[in-house]
């Protein structure tokens, strides 16, 4: 499970730093390639020499020390690791991660990496339960950071309560479950669409919508984590491409139609999460349309229905659609599911707080042609993506711990 995996262990300045030695040692015994990055305060609790001896690799502490390799150290490390585990994760590092502060080697790597990040919090109960820490943990969960623990027990300050760092065995069990899930969709090829298409009116204006692309990008990230070869056909979106995902940039509905249909026969699954314009201007003005004080009438013509065309053409492919509605959610979504011949339809009411375009969270229901329906509470879009990939694995018959 761990053989050949490149894992970064981040150690921050708490008394539980001594437990990092066992985490590193166990990972090495399981044939992982272990790298360690420490904050300067962590070196007050455990020496870099100890972790260097256990990991058999240089330990990173100082951002500006002599490079161990020819390239930009923190960027190279960030790009080549398979996972990060911060153990212990102090309240300070959690706060830094929340606001994106990068003032040392470890926090800079955390900002630069696209690998999955696990944190094992360790701090006094009062610090852990403080509203600021709890708010930080909530934001980190919404971004897809995975928490391990903390547990409850005796603390170094002499009190007893929640905030103890999880033991090495629990940390490795969580990582093991994650990597076992990674193999769940190995060998499958999946295409995801994301973002809102833009239909030009003239050289400077376009018709568009409020889609941020977050849902589609989250799905692409989870699919890649689950081992699928993932193609992301994206309308304009100000989001980083998930690590390992092939991104194909398009602007208009016609461009997205061509990109998706061209690759449809090659893939096992298509997930249509993009907000595609239903209409486009009949005429594209060659020059900027000038305001002259009179009314302006635009003639719009319909764009092709990508999801309906895929539903007509599909043979063995799994087809997933989305229905973003503002009224009569279930009636409209069920009608769309049947008309478009999809295997699963994700329905959401975009007028609900916490479920609209641009929100980091969503509130969805999964509808199936056999009448089944699964309703979910408000959760991060990454968690919605994980639930969706779980159902896709079920539909493919390859669900081996994909959750």
Given this model, what pLDDT does residue 188 score? 94
Contact between 60 and 36 under an 8 Å Cβ cutoff? The reply is yes
Eight-state DSSP code of residue 275? B
266 burial level (CB within 10 Å; 0-12, 13-18, 19+): exposed
Instruction: Tell me: pLDDT of 159 over 50.
Output: yes
**Where residue 227 falls among pLDDT bands split at 50, 70, 90?**
confident
What's the mean pLDDT in 92-113? 94
Report if pTM > 0.75: no
What's the mean pLDDT in 72-96? 86
Mind spelling out the 3-state secondary structure of 372-390?
CEEECCCEEHHHHHHHHHH
Eight-state DSSP code of residue 240? P
Question: Rounded CA gap, 168 and 26, in Å?
Answer: 8
Instruction: Enumerate domains of the chain plus CATH numbers.
Output: 6-182 (3.40.50.1950), 189-396 (3.40.50.10300)
Question: Rounded CA gap, 383 and 403, in Å?
Answer: 10
- Judged by DSSP in three states, 182 sits in helix
255 Cβ neighbours under 8 A, 6+ residues apart: 197
List alpha helices for 154-272, DSSP H: 168-182, 214-225, 253-263
Question: Rounded CA gap, 193 and 319, in Å?
Answer: 12
Instruction: Mark whether 157 is an active-site residue.
Output: yes
The mean pLDDT of the chain is 90
Instruction: Tell me: pLDDT of 98 over 90.
Output: yes
What is the tens place of the pLDDT at every residue in 355-364? Answer: 778 788 889 9
Contact between 321 and 273 under an 8 Å Cβ cutoff? The reply is no
Spot the catalytic one: 63, 76, 101, 157: 157
Q: Give the least confident one: 31-45, 168-182, 293-307, 311-325.
A: 168-182
Question: Rounded CA gap, 52 and 281, in Å?
Answer: 63
Q: Give the least confident one: 2-16, 94-108, 172-186, 227-241.
A: 172-186
Which of 101-110, 179-188, 348-357 tops mean pLDDT? Answer: 101-110
Eight-state DSSP code of residue 145? P
Question: Rounded CA gap, 194 and 271, in Å?
Answer: 9
Q: What torsion, rounded to 10 degrees, do the Cα atoms 267, 272, 274, 278 define?
A: 120
Question: Rounded CA gap, 140 and 285, in Å?
Answer: 45
What is the tens place of the pLDDT at every residue in 175-189? Answer: 887 776 656 788 999
């Amino acid at each position: 499970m761990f053989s050949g995996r490149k894992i970064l262990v981040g150690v921050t300045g708490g008394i539980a730093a001594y437990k990092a030695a066992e985490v590193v040692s166990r990972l090495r015994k399981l044939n992982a390639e272990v790298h360690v990055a420490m904050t300067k305060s962590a070196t007050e609790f455990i020496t870099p020499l100890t972790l260097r001896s256990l990991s058999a690799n240089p330990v990173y502490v100082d951002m500006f020390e002599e490079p161990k390799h020819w390239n930009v150290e923190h960027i190279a490390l960030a790009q080549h690791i398979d996972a990060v585990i911060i153990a212990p994760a102090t309240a300070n590092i959690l706060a830094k991660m929340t606001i994106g502060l990068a003032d040392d080697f470890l926090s800079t790597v955390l900002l630069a990496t696209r690998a999955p990040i696990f944190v094992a919090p360790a701090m006094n109960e009062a610090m852990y339960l403080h509203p600021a820490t709890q708010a930080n943990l909530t934001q980190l969960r919404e971004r897809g950071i995975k928490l391990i623990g903390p547990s409850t027990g005796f603390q170094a300050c002499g009190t007893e309560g929640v905030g103890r760092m999880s033991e090495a065995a629990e940390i490795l069990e969580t990582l093991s479950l994650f990597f076992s899930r990674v193999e769940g969709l190995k060998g499958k090829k999946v295409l995801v669409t994301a973002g809102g298409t833009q239909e030009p009116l003239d050289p400077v204006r376009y018709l568009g919508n409020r889609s941020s692309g977050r849902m589609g990008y989250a799905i692409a990230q989870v699919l890649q984590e689950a081992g699928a070869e993932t193609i992301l056909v994206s309308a304009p979106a100000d989001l980083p491409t998930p690590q390992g995902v092939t991104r194909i940039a398009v602007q208009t509905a016609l461009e997205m139609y061509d990109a998706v249909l061209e690759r449809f026969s090659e893939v096992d699954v298509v997930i249509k999460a993009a907000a595609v314009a239903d209409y486009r201007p009949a005429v594209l003005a060659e020059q900027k349309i000038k305001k002259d004080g009179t009314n302006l009438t635009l003639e719009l013509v319909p764009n092709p229905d990508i999801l309906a065309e895929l539903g007509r053409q599909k043979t063995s492919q799994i087809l997933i659609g989305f229905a973003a509605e503002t009224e009569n959610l279930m009636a409209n979504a069920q009608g769309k599911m049947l008309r478009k011949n999809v295997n699963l339809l994700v329905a959401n009411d975009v007028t609900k707080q916490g479920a609209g375009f641009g929100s980091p969270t969503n509130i969805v229901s999964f509808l199936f042609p056999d009448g089944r329906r699964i309703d979910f509470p408000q959760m991060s879009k990454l968690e919605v993506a994980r639930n969706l990939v779980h159902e896709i694995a079920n539909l493919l018959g390859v669900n081996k711990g994909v959750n």
